[in-house]
Amino acid sequence: MEKRAEIIINGRVQKAGFRDFIDEIAFHLNLNGYAKNLDDGTVQVICERKEESIRELLEKINIKQYPIRVEKIDGLGDNLGSKIDQSREEITSEIRSLRDDFRSHMDKRISKIEVELAEIKMKVAALQ
């Protein structure tokens, strides 16, 4: 299904070759449209084609490699950009949850090891 996306990209995205980078990716994805710098320091991308191609573009341009650093992608109209931001938040939340679970697991294991070590020390002291 053909879609039109109006995307605003925030971050260090001007004077870094980012528009040429977007243009190259869009060309390879056979997207129609353009990218332009806005006065507020953001980059606007207007593109049309299959939704899957637009999603792939969004994934590929969401980079944080010097000299480009994308901080936020907002999609206007079809809301693709905010879906990417929502997915990023969900992934971050899942990672935090897994990290907390791992920390809890390790705390329990360390406590058990400490108790066992104390018992071993007591038995060794009793033998002497």
Which residues in the chain come in under a pLDDT of 50? Answer: none
CATH 3.40.50.620 at 2-84, yes or no: no
Main-chain dihedrals φ then ψ at residue 2, nearest 5 degrees: -75, 140
Which of 12, 37, 62, 69 is an active site residue? 37
Assessment of whether the complete model's pTM goes beyond 0.75:
no
- Half-sphere exposure at residue 18, Cβ-oriented, CA atoms within 13 angstroms: 29
Q: For position 112, what pLDDT does the model report?
A: 96
d(CA 4, CA 33): 9
Main-chain dihedrals φ then ψ at residue 22, nearest 5 degrees: -60, -45
Q: For position 65, what pLDDT does the model report?
A: 85
Q: Where are the domains of the chain?
A: 2-84
d(CA 4, CA 9): 16
Mark whether 37 is an active-site residue: yes
Mark whether 19 is an active-site residue: yes
Give percent of the chain with pLDDT exceeding 70.
89
DSSP string, 82-110: HHHHHHHHHHHHHHHHHHHHHHHHHHHHH
